[in-house]
Amino acid sequence: MTMDPARGTIGSEVPDTRDVQKNNFAEVSGDTQPHQEPRRVNNDPRARQQKGNQPRRDRRDVHGWVVLDKPIGMTSTQAVAVLKRLFQAKRAGHAGTLDPLASGGLPIALGEATKTVPFVMDGRKRYRFTVCWGEERDTDDIEGRVTATSDQRPTREAIEALLPRFTGVIEQVPPRYSAIKVQGERAYDLARDGEVVELAPRPVEIHHLSLVDQPDSDRAVFEAECGKGTYVRALARDMGRILGTFGHICALRRTLVGPFGENDMIPLDQLEALCHRAASGEGSLADALLPVETALDDIPALAVTRADAARLHRGQAVLLRGRDAPNCSGTVYVTVAGRLLALAEVGNGEIIPKRVFNLTGLTASTGRNERN
């Protein structure tokens, strides 16, 4: 479950299509002016380090996860750009969009950790969210236009009696303002243009849904744990309709994404402070990183010898032989001397490498390998 970056709406695990567009500018160096005569190239390395009287910061290999406790008001794309700058990392990406409206866990993969993003996105998500009763909005959250109102307010008993209907595998109609494609166009783009968007219901799984607080008659606070593709906005909308009132999301915080919980989150100000201390030699950025394999908690680990590791690193399969050969099949992550080597498939008596990791560069500190 994510939030739609275009409209500030909570949605399914659809990558933010603006990520590539917004991050590409950071990859371009030098001044480009059209219709100019070719300029003489200055091969003096000192000159290449100057741009606007500022030293050029070279990108470096950084590998691991940072679970940002994203503040309200920041987009996921902006968060990735900030971390990429702080770590001077060559590659970065997030595992599930979290909209500016929401706070909480935004796992950001750096370097080789980007190869493990799908494993995080496929994991469970946990949210704490507040529903404001009495109004339905076109985006199903606080940023939308009011489309219906009601003076009725649900009682605690009515809310709690309703929750079992929204637990388990249910059919859910995604919000009109979502990143789902309709005939090649994003639903939120069509809705913004005033077109009527009819989205078909689809099955989603809600593992747990509970009412945790009711501060007043206008608001109710819930906690939900759900699978990929669930829209919390649609959940608030549908509960409001069945209860005889209307509802929309007015606050949301993500507390779990796959293997990453609140204990793993780092507020942005603390992360910036750590980066500044590291720049002055008073600390290490490695202290902010979780190991790449943290994303693979639900996958069996398989240790191999250095000789077998060399074959796997070259992309070659390794035969499982001898009485000590592991009795397993399916996806595993392979280690050698305690270090992550590859993602592989085990079957028919052999290990077949699928993704090989090259962890040369900055990685998580030893202390962060032992998580709370």
Active site residues: 99
Which residues on neighbouring strands pair with residue 209, listed in sequence order? 224
Determine phi and psi for 165, rounding to 5 degrees: -70, -20
- Enter the tokens of residue 223: 């906690």
Instruction: With CA atoms as reference, report the closest residue to 343 among 113, 136, 170.
Output: 113
Amino acid at 105: G
- Enter the tokens of residue 156: 């605690």
In sequence order, the 6+-apart residues with CB closer than 8 A to the CB of 181 are 187
As a whole number of angstroms, the distance between CA 63 and CA 288 comes to 11
Q: How distant is the alpha carbon of residue 110 from its chain centre?
A: 12
- Enter the tokens of residue 329: 């099949």
As a whole number of angstroms, the distance between CA 95 and CA 105 comes to 10
Q: How many CB atoms lie within 10 A of CB 281?
A: 7
As a whole number of angstroms, the distance between CA 316 and CA 125 comes to 36
In sequence order, the 6+-apart residues with CB closer than 8 A to the CB of 348 are none
Instruction: With CA atoms as reference, report the closest residue to 231 among 199, 196, 265.
Output: 199
C-alpha distances out from residue 208 to 130, 143, 168, 223, 242, Å = 16, 26, 8, 8, 19
As a whole number of angstroms, the distance between CA 364 and CA 340 comes to 12
